[in-house]
Structure formats: structure tokens, C-alpha cells
A and B are shown apart, each in its own frame.
Chain A
């Protein structure tokens, strides 16, 4: 069964550095998402992406965040200048067309900002 894949599984970076989290959604999916989960807390929506543009973003997704689909397969989340509070698990998800289609999640990237 096809899966959403995320790399790396764990990223350690220093405060102020830029990080790029990478995701390869399921190939025939059209909607892409990033969520984050601070340790022990709820899963929070960051951004959704469809038809090569952001369709919705949360208040968390400020100017420090950006997403890109540079080619036909990758979907990236960039954090320009990381802060300590950006430390979290970041999940990529995708789904196919259809309102009732569920999100398929990757295994996540654990980002640690020191």
C-alpha cells in the first residue's frame, strides 16, 4: 500500500537556522497538509496545499513558514529562522479527491531546536 514518506525522521538544528522538512505524498493524491504536534500535546493544523497554492493556513503558519511543491513528487515545509518553540513533531499528510477521503499521514519528522 502506498505511503506518505517524510525525511529526515529526526532533525536537530540551532536556533535561528533554516530547516527544510521533506515529504513525498502518495502519488495520486491532490491535497497536501502539514501538521505539527508539540510533545504531549494535540495535533495542530499548519497549512493545506492544493493546485500548487496554499488553500488554508492557521495562525501558527506565520511568515517564518513556507511550503513548496518543487516538482511532481516532493512537498516541503521550510522554517526560515527556527525558534526553540518550533521543536515538535511535524507530520505531512495527503489525500485524494473527494470530501470524505481521509488524510494519510507520514511517520513524522521530529524537529529539535537547540
Chain B
């Protein structure tokens, strides 16, 4: 079974600075999808960014970008120019591309604090 590991339970960053959240995963599959979700205090799960494993180019969404290292099974999230509104729990997630295995598995989460 696939597992997702987020080794940083908590991180903090100064406003306007850059922070990187780590995520590693374990899989024997070659085709899959990776996601980062943000969960603010409102508890809603909000998609931040996604990456297809077959794409070598790292995904980017405005201030959010990933460093996808397929061989190392690593999928870190970089937040540039951090804002107070970025403070939240961040969950890394994996989903297989197999037709009969379409659920998403989450890591334990990293709580990000943004200091003004």
C-alpha cells in the first residue's frame, strides 16, 4: 500500500520569506498523481497544487511550486513571499492512476505558522 510521509509536524516562516514543506511517499507504481492541500482553521480542504508523475516539469501555481523528484519519491512544496493567509495545515496526498484504485492517501500534515 502507498504511504505518504510528512516529516515536519510544524514549520514557521517570516512573512514575505520562503518556506519549503517536505513530503515523501512510497509506491511501486510508475503512474500516479501528487497533490498538496491546505486546511485553514475553517477546516475546509483546499487544493493548492498538483503534479502528474509522468511530467518532469515541476508544477507552479503563483507563489506555490513543487520540487518533484520521482526517483527519490519526494514532493516538496515551496511557498514564496509567504503571507499571513498561508497559515494552515498542509497535507501532501498521493493518488494512483490505476483504474481500480482511485482514492487519495494523505500524509499526517504540516502545520505552517506565518510570523508577521
Contacts and interface: CB of A to CB of B under 8 A. Distances in A.
Interface in A52-87: 55-56
Q: Is the interface of A mostly helix, strand, loop or mixed?
A: strand
Q: How large is the interface on A (under 10, 10 to 19, 20 to 34, 35 or more residues)?
A: 20 to 34
Q: How large is the interface on B (under 10, 10 to 19, 20 to 34, 35 or more residues)?
A: 20 to 34
B57 interface: no
Contacts of B100: 55-56
Interface centre among A31, A50, A105, A110, by most chain B C-beta atoms within 10 angstroms, is A105
A102 B50 contact: yes
Nearest to B42: A107
B43 A89 contact: yes
Interface of A: 31, 33, 35, 41-45, 48, 50, 55-56, 89, 91, 93, 99-100, 102-108, 110
